[in-house]
Amino acid sequence: MQLIETVAGVKEQVAAWKAAGLTIGLVPTMGSLHEGHESLMDAARAACDKVVVSVFVNPLQFGPDEDYDNYPRDIERDGAICEAHGVDVVFHPTPEEMYGPNYNTYVVMETLTDALCGASRPGHFRGVCTVVNKLFNIAQPDKAFFGQKDAQQLAIIKRMVADLNMNLQVVGCPIVREEDGLAKSSRNTYLSAEERQAALVLSRAIFAGEQAVRAGERNAAALKRHMGDIIAAEPLARVDYIEVVDGATMQPVETLGSSVLTAMAVYIGSTRLIDNFIYEEGE
């Protein structure tokens, strides 16, 4: 496995692979890797000849009061995990390598970025779309792998790829959870023991919402109330949002239809966690 820190270095390696007729899978990450990331690596390894994992804490997607400076970074640990999962290249650039002097080009999407995390984190998806676009241009993947936990991000990236006629396939992979149900997240490491226990309220609300839908609930407001009541019972929890939206447009719906995303963001103490489930008509 190679650890490459420059754009030119990755491009050179990718060009050699392309010349040999090899397919490339890309797993974009911000490091602090866990089993969710590992599942993406394994999917890429199974589907492609070569696998590139980017490990880059992207400053553009953090707001001024968010956790950029404190976001966990351990490239030696992350590199060892990547190597254990058959990754061929870890791309680990500095912010200066990704955004050179006088950098002034950004990718901005409308509508899909207005709701959910986009509403509560202004500018976040401008940073996500910009860095992912750059990673696609650098690594030239045939397939790129993203987790369903970040469902809005996945929908936005799929829309960007379609709108800009990019020559790659975006592959969404299922949420990976702890044994007790908590969705895997790098931010779980911020939680104290008490907060870690309190955080289980997210998956309890998600599972209860799924069960209500399976039992026939189709009214979005009633579904949100049911899940919100579960969150409200946990003293350490503070709701950022609970929303039921169209899976393609990310716009709110009143009645569950053909493809609907139910998503939440909840603060446990000062740590913001997300979770979701998708309902497809006919399930």
Q: Which residues are catalytic?
A: 37
Q: How far apart are CA 14 and CA 8, in angstroms?
A: 10
The interaxial angle of helices 200-214 and 220-232, nearest 10 deg, is 150
Q: What share of the chain is helix, strand, coil (3-state, %, to 5)?
A: 40, 20, 35
Per-position DSSP letters for 183-199, written without gaps between them = BP-GGGGG--HHHHHHT
How many Cα atoms are found within 13 Å in the side-chain-facing hemisphere of 71?
22
Q: What is the DSSP letter of 61?
A: G
Query: Beta-strand (E) ranges in 95-167?
Result: 143-147
Nearest-angstrom CA–CA distance, 78 and 32 = 7
Q: Residue 125's beta-bridge partner residues?
A: none
Phi-psi region of 71 (alpha: psi -120 to 50; beta: other; left: phi over 0): beta
β-bridge mates for residue 282, sequence order: none
Sheet holding 271-280, edge to edge: 237-246, 259-268, 271-280
Q: For residues 190 and 192, what is the distance between their CA atoms, to the nearest angstrom?
A: 7
Residue where the block lists tokens 């990236």: 157
State both tokens at 161.
């790829």
